[in-house]
């Protein structure tokens, strides 16, 4: 399988090179040249498979040119064996035909573990084979950083530099990153917001001269295709658990960078019956404003109780725009260049095509807290603020009550105790046993100005072979 850029000018690459490259040389994102498609009969035959085996069925077509089947199966077994629930992604029922899929049973208590624990193993495999070293540079709004560090910290061929917005992630999220010890792990707190961090990462991938030609950058953000690929699987898992593919499903997805919900869009294109995808956002609602009114316009980024979604520039939205424009890379490039200068819209027929599948909602902090409280009082089930936004958006946007609605539960509530307290509940979510001493561990991180040259200089000085 070959991979092409959403901006149409970079060369097509195989899986290994896409894994290591991250951002395409023309500034675009890589997508498969063509997608595998599964028949209903084939999907039906996967009922009852363990999660790792289902993951193999769904993902192997994307990597088969690069990784032997037995090696890939071993990676998947190792990846998902460390999750704390045998089902890996268990479903919890909230109401009639309403469910939460718990995607926070991995080692860092967030859905990012599904992709990043695998990504670390993929990088180790490919870099060992090539005898190559890379510098991982990533930006996080809270959860990607800890999952990336956990997934990659044992990799012998990488140095890890994770940028997070200073004082704009929860304390648990920060400590999960900054208390992991290792000479190859570097946490950078940028005096800015997530979009500033993400911009620095993209700019650095576009010009890697600060590394002196001695190594290259590798991506752990969802610009890396491997991240999206791994997230497709749990849509199939949820559907199969609730009667799919013989009935359609609806999903509500808390999203800031559009990667998790784009995986659902791909699952549908690969043959899974999905009738609705709900984009659930907070006050940073650029995706909602586009999907509800065909206007893509950046506003000032606001700090909310759901910090992992405090994002205004949604990188993976480019991948959907590429499809909506008939895979015309030049059209996507022009559109995004114009979007950097002011508001843009797409042709009405393209927007209406997107609306056949997608709905959206923006949920403010008060409504988020109300939802946390209401669901707990109804079910004694505690939602984190991001999942609460997903549940509220699902209820506001639901098209058909006969279709199961599944909200993706993206993080453990213990990561956001301030939001739980603000909801008025007296219950205090507890960290699991393996993190019980988190607040006693020593932290290590460096605070830098919102300046790409300063960040690049720090990386150039501190990677191990510098």
Q: Tokens for 65, please give them.
A: 């040119």
CA 452, chain centre distance (Å): 24
Is 112 designated active site?
yes
Q: Do residues 282 and 359 make contact, with C-beta atoms less than 8 angstroms apart?
A: no
The closest alpha carbon to 94, from 410, 376, 426, belongs to 376
Angle between helices 51-63 and 69-81 (to 10 degrees): 140
The closest alpha carbon to 144, from 168, 123, 174, belongs to 174
> How far apart, in whole angstroms, are the C-alpha atoms of residue 358 and residue 353?
9
Residues 6+ apart with CB under 8 A from 122: 19, 67, 75, 226
Q: Do residues 454 and 196 make contact, with C-beta atoms less than 8 angstroms apart?
A: no
Other C-beta atoms closer than 10 Å to the C-beta of 44 total 13
Count Cβ neighbours within 10 Å for each residue of 348-362 and write b for 16 or more, e otherwise. Answer: eebbeebeeebbbbb
User: Which residue among 74, 112, 268, 269 is the active-site one?
Assistant: 112
Can you give the C-alpha Rg of the chain in angstroms?
Answer: 21
> How far apart, in whole angstroms, are the C-alpha atoms of residue 143 and residue 108?
8
3-state helix, strand, coil in the chain (%, to 5): 45, 15, 40
Question: Measured in Å, how far apart are the chain's first and last C-alpha atoms?
Answer: 35
Helix (H/G/I), strand (E/B), else coil: 40: helix
Tokens 């590394």 belong to 211
Helix (H/G/I), strand (E/B), else coil: 14: coil
Helix (H/G/I), strand (E/B), else coil: 170: coil
Supply the residues annotated as catalytic. Answer: 112
């Amino acid at each position: 399988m070959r991979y092409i850029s959403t901006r149409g000018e970079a060369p097509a690459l195989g899986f290994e090179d896409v894994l290591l490259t991250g951002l395409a040389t023309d500034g675009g994102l890589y997508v498969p040249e063509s997608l595998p498609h599964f028949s209903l009969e084939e999907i039906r035959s996967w009922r009852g498979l363990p999660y790792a085996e289902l993951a193999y069925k769904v993902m192997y077509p994307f990597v088969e040119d690069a990784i032997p089947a037995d090696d890939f199966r071993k990676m998947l077994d190792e990846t998902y064996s460390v999750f704390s629930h045998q089902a890996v992604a268990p479903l919890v029922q909230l109401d009639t035909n309403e469910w939460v899929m718990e995607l926070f049973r991995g080692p860092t208590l967030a859905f990012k573990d599904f992709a990043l624990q695998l990504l670390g193993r993929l990088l180790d495999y490919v870099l060992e084979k090539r005898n190559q070293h890379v510098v991982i540079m990533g930006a996080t709004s809270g959860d990607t950083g800890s999952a990336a560090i956990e997934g990659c910290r044992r990799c012998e061929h990488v140095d890890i530099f994770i940028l997070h917005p200073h004082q704009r992630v929860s304390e648990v999220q920060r400590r999960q990153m900054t208390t992991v010890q290792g000479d190859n792990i570097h946490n950078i707190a940028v005096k800015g917001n997530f979009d500033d961090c993400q911009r620095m990462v993209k700019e650095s991938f576009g010009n890697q001269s600060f590394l002196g030609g001695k190594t290259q950058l590798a991506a752990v953000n969802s610009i890396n295709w491997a991240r999206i690929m791994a997230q497709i699987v749990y849509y199939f898992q949820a559907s199969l658990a609730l009667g799919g593919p013989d009935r359609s499903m609806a999903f509500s997805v808390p999203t800031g960078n559009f990667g998790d919900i784009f995986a659902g869009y791909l699952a549908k294109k690969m043959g899974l019956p999905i009738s609705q995808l709900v984009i659930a956002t907070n006050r940073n609602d650029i995706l909602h404003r586009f999907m509800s009114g065909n206007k893509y316009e950046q506003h000032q980024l606001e700090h909310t109780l759901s910090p992992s979604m405090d994002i205004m520039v949604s990188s993976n939205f480019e991948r959907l725009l590429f499809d909506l424009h008939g895979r015309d890379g030049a059209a996507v490039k022009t559109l995004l260049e114009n979007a950097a200068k002011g508001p843009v819209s797409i042709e009405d027929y393209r927007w209406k095509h997107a609306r056949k599948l997608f709905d959206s909602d923006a949920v403010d902090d008060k409504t988020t807290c109300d939802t946390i409280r209401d669901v707990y009082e109804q079910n004694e089930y505690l939602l984190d603020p991001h999942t609460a936004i997903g549940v509220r958006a699902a209820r506001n946007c639901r098209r058909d009550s006969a279709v199961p609605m599944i909200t993706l539960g993206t993080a453990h509530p213990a990561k956001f105790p301030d939001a739980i307290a603000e909801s008025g509940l007296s219950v205090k979510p507890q960290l699991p046993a393996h993190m019980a001493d988190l607040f006693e561990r020593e932290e290590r991180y460096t605070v830098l100005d919102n300046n790409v040259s300063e960040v690049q200089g720090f990386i150039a000085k501190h990677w191990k072979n510098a």
